[in-house]
C-alpha cells in the first residue's frame, strides 16, 4: 500500500515519450525486462518490492485486528481505510510539489525510515497488550501520511532510473513486483499473524523497512532540473493542475482513476465482511481473497507490457467495464471457490487499468513537472479511496456487503459506457 550509472543523458532522462495523444510503444516480450539492465533501477525495484512485501504484513494485520476489536463491524473496516487513505487526499498534491523540489532519493529514504520507526512503536504497544480501534486507526493515519509523501517521489524517480525508451518496461515491472507481493505478502503475513501474533507482524514490517533503506542509500540518480521555477508550493501545485488539463488525455486519466477508487477498488475494505458474513469462512480466510486478487493483478500488470498496442486511456476504460462485470459477478457468487476465481479476474482488470493509466500519465509528463502530476495521480488513486471506504462501510452495515459492491460496480460500468466514446480517439494537444 517500489552504478553511479553513467548519468542518463538529458535527451533521454525523464523526457516525454510519444507525442501527446499517441499510443505508447508496446514493450516487446524481449524488451519487457530491459529496465533491469540499469543498475539504479535494479536497486529501486528490489527496495520497492521488499517494502511492498512488508506493507502487506501490516495491512492484513490491521484488518484482522480491527475485525476482532470491533466485533466484525463493516463500518470500522471502512473507517480504517478512511484513516489510512485520507492523508493521500490531504497531502498528495503538496507531496507532489515536494517531490519536484527536493532530492527524490533522500525523500524516499526519510519516509521509509519513518515508516520503520512507526511500525516499531506499534509493535512495542501490541507486544505489551495495548490494542484499541483508535490505536489501529491512528497508526493507519500515520502510515497513510508517510505514504502520501512516498508515492509521488517513488513514481517520479522511476523515470529518472531508466531512459525514456525503457519507462514502460520499468513501470510494468514495478507493478508486477507489487502484485507478486499481493500474493506473497498476505500469505507470509497470515503465517506470522497466526503463529506469532500481531506484535511480531509489525516487528517484521519494521525490519523490512531497515532493509529497504539500506538498498535505497546506494542509488545515484541524475534528473533534469528547471532552474526557472521559483514559485511557491501552492502556485506550483496549481500549475500542475493546469498542466494536467492542458496535456490531453491527462485529465481523463485522473477522472477515470477517481471513479475506480471511489466506486470500485474500495470494496477491498469489505473483504473480512464478505469472508465471515457472506461465505461463512474463518476470519483470516480473507487473506485468500487478497491473494486471489494479487494473482490476477500480477498477470494484469505484466499483460500491459506485452499487449500488441501500448497502454491507452481507451484500453483502460474497456478494462473498467470488464472490472464492473467481474465485480458484479463476485457479489452473486455462492461458492467460495467461484468467488476466488472472480476476485482473481477483478484484480486482473484493476491492475490492467492502473498500470495503463500510470504509464500514459508518466509518458506525458515533463520531468520538472512529473512529481506534481504523480501527486495528482496519487490523490486520485489512493487519496479518494477513503471516501469509498466510508460510504461502502456505512452502506454495508445497513444493506449488506453484496448490495454495496453492486452499487459501486454499476457506477463503474455506467462511467465506462459514457466515457468510452469521448476517449475513443484523443487528438494531440
What pLDDT score was predicted for residue 223?
55
pTM above 0.85, yes or no: no
> Average pLDDT of 235-245?
70
**Which position has the higher pLDDT, 139 or 178?**
139
- State pLDDT tens for residues 46-59: 999 999 999 988 88
pLDDT of residue 418: 95
Most confident listed range (284-298, 352-366, 368-382): 284-298
Secondary structure of residue 212 in the 3-state scheme: helix
**Which has more pLDDT, 179 or 170?**
170
Mean pLDDT computed over 115-142: 95
Q: Per-residue pLDDT for 231 more than 90?
A: no
Would you state the pLDDT for residue 415?
Answer: 97
3-class DSSP state for residue 330?
Answer: helix
pLDDT value, residue 145 = 93
For the residues 372-383, what does the mean pLDDT come to?
Answer: 78
- pLDDT band at residue 222 under the 50/70/90 scheme: low
- Per-residue pLDDT averaged across 322-348, rounded? 96
In percent, the amount of the chain with pLDDT more than 70 equals: 85
Top-confidence residue, 270 or 27: 270
Report how far residue 22's alpha carbon sits from residue 35's, in angstroms, rounded to the nearest whole number: 22
User: What average pLDDT does the segment 142-160 reach?
Assistant: 88
**Between residues 403 and 152, the one the model is more confident about:** 403
Using the predicted structure, report yes or no on whether residue 98 has a pLDDT greater than 80: yes
Is there a cis peptide before residue 249, judged by omega within 30 degrees of 0? yes
Burial zone of 279 (CB within 10 Å; 0-12 exposed, 13-18 middle, 19+ buried): middle
Choose the CATH number for 31-223+233-423 among 1.10.1060.10, 3.40.50.150, 1.20.1250.20, 1.10.1490.10. 1.20.1250.20
Rounded to an integer, what distance in angstroms lies between the CA atom of residue 114 and that of residue 147?
10
Q: Which pairs count as long-range contacts for 209-213, CB under 8 Å and 24+ apart, including other chains?
A: 209/51, 209/54, 209/112, 209/113, 209/115, 209/116, 209/119, 210/116, 211/50, 212/47, 212/48, 212/50, 212/51, 212/54, 212/112, 213/109, 213/112, 213/113, 213/116
Q: For position 46, what pLDDT does the model report? A: 96
The arithmetic mean of pLDDT across residues 218-243, rounded, is: 63
Query: Sorting pLDDT into bands at 50, 70 and 90, what band is 153?
Result: confident
The predicted structure's pLDDT at residue 123: 96
pLDDT of residue 31: 67
For 417, residues 6+ apart whose C-beta sits below 8 A from its C-beta are 321
Averaged pLDDT for residues 383-395 = 87
| Residue-level pLDDT at 429 | 42
- The SS3 call for residue 18 is coil
Q: What is the pLDDT of residue 399?
A: 93
pLDDT at 237: 62
DSSP state of 38: S
Residue 342 has pLDDT above 90, yes or no: yes
Q: Which residues, other chains included, contact 346 with Cβ-Cβ below 8 Å and sequence gap of 6+? A: 293, 296, 323, 326, 327, 330
User: Of residues 381 and 196, which shows the higher confidence score?
Assistant: 196
Amino acid at each position: 500500500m517500489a552504478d553511479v550509472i553513467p548519468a542518463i543523458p538529458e535527451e533521454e532522462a525523464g523526457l516525454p515519450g510519444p507525442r501527446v495523444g499517441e499510443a505508447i510503444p508496446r514493450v516487446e516480450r524481449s524488451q519487457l525486462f530491459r529496465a533491469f539492465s540499469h543498475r539504479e533501477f535494479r536497486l529501486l525495484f528490489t527496495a520497492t518490492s521488499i517494502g511492498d512485501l512488508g506493507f502487506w504484513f501490516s495491512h492484513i494485520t490491521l484488518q484482522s485486528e480491527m475485525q476482532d476489536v470491533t466485533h466484525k463491524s463493516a463500518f470500522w473496516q471502512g473507517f480504517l481505510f478512511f484513516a489510512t487513505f485520507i492523508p493521500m487526499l490531504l497531502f498528495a498534491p503538496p507531496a507532489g510539489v515536494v517531490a519536484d523540489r527536493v532530492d527524490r532519493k533522500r525523500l524516499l529514504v526519510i519516509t521509509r525510515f519513518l515508516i520503520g520507526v512507526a511500525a516499531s512503536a506499534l509493535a512495542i504497544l501490541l507486544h505489551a497488550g495495548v490494542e484499541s480501534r483508535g490505536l489501529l486507526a491512528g497508526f493507519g493515519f500515520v502510515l497513510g501520511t508517510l505514504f502520501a509523501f512516498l508515492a509521488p517521489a517513488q513514481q517520479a524517480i522511476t523515470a529518472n532510473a531508466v531512459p525514456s525508451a525503457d519507462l514502460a518496461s520499468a513501470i510494468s515491472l514495478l507493478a508486477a513486483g507489487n502484485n507478486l507481493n499481493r500474493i506473497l505478502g498476505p500469505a507470509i503475513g497470515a503465517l506470522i499473524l497466526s503463529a506469532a501474533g500481531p506484535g511480531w507482524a509489525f516487528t517484521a514490517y519494521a525490519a523490512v523497512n531497515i532493509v529497504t533503506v539500506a538498498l535505497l542509500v546506494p542509488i545515484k540518480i541524475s534528473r533534469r532540473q528547471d532552474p526557472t521555477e521559483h514559485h511557491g508550493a501552492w502556485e506550483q501545485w496549481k500549475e500542475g493542475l493546469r498542466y494536467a488539463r492542458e496535456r490531453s488525455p491527462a485529465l481523463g486519466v485522473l477522472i477515470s482513476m477517481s471513479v475506480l477508487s471511489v466506486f470500485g477498488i474500495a470494496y477491498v475494505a469489505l473483504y473480512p465482511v464478505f469472508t465471515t458474513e457472506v461465505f461463512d469462512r474463518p476470519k483470516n480466510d480473507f487473506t485468500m481473497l487478497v491473494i486471489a486478487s494479487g494473482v490476477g493483478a500480477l498477470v494484469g500488470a505484466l499483460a500491459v507490457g506485452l499487449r500488441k498496442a501500448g497502454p491507452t486511456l481507451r484500453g483502460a476504460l474497456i478494462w473498467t467495464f470488464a472490472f464492473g462485470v467481474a465485480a458484479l459477478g463476485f457479489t452473486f457468487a455462492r461458492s467460495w471457490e467461484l468467488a476466488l476465481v472472480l476476485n482473481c479476474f477483478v484484480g486482473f482488470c484493476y491492475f490492467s487499468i492502473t498500470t495503463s493509466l500510470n504509464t500514459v500519465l508518466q509518458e506525458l509528463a515533463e520531468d520538472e513537472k512529473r512529481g506534481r502530476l504523480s501527486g495528482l495521480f496519487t490523490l486520485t488513486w489512493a487519496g479518494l479511496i477513503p471516501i469509498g471506504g466510508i460510504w461502502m462501510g456505512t452502506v454495508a452495515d445497513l444493506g449488506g456487503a453484496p448490495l454495496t459492491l453492486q452499487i459501486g460496480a454499476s457506477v463503474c460500468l455506467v462511467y465506462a459506457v459514457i466515457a468510452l466514446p469521448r476517449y475513443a480517439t484523443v487528438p494531440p494537444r
